[in-house]
Amino acid sequence: MRFTFVIVAAAALLSATASASDVISLNSQSFNAAAKREPLMLVKFVSSWCAHCIELVPAFDKAAASLKGVAQLATVDCSDHTQFEFCRTIGVMSFPTLRVYRHGAFAAYPGPLTADGIVSALKASAPRYVCTVSQLFRAH
């Protein structure tokens, strides 16, 4: 009975971590359109052999879930030859490399590599669409 419970619990944990992420995967064909479309997007350029990249996955996924509607988080896997050439072409030389894109223009991501740090940094740089009524009337 206990053994069955452990197996079921482990299966549930694996299915929860393997569920759909809020992080989108980009490649050389989809990257430019996504980068230009999004008002705020954090892109993580990674390689499958990079231990630091692998360690960043849980924090990045957690941040993506917290930033729904504020910013899009994306990953580009530079591991295979075609994607590696693409990454080199756009100036990515080490892994992980994080860049903040605003409608196609980018800047290096200067913030911490924790979920809370990513959320704070991107919320602070998110476009401001909210204003008070008095600010609205002062503008006119």
pLDDT tier, 125 (very low <50, low <70, confident <90, very high otherwise):
confident
Specify the CATH number for the domain of residue 62.
Answer: 3.40.30.10
Domain assignment present for 12: no
Please indicate whether residue 6 or residue 64 has the higher confidence score (pLDDT): 64
Domain assignment present for 13: no
The total number of structural domains in the chain stands at 1
Residues contacting 88, CB < 8 A, separation 6+: none
CA distance 78 to 96: 10
Task: Estimate to the nearest angstrom the gap between the alpha carbon of 9 and the chain centroid.
Answer: 28
Domain assignment present for 9: no
- Identify the helix (H) or strand (E) that includes residue 65: helix 51-66
pLDDT tens readout for residues 91-124: 999 999 999 999 999 999 989 999 999 999 999 9
Residue 72 to residues 26, 64, 124: CA-CA distances in angstroms? 12, 7, 14
Domain assignment present for 15: no
Domain assignment present for 11: no
Domain of 61, in residue numbers: 20-139
CA distance 101 to 83: 19
User: What is residue 127's predicted lDDT score, i.e. its pLDDT?
Assistant: 74
- pTM (global) more than 0.85: no
Highest mean pLDDT, choosing among 18-32, 45-59, 118-132: 45-59
Least confident span in 5-19, 27-41, 49-63: 5-19
Domain assignment present for 74: yes
Question: Looking at the chain, how many residues does it have?
Answer: 140
Domain assignment present for 1: no
Look at residue 16 and tell me whether its pLDDT is greater than 60. no
Domain assignment present for 6: no
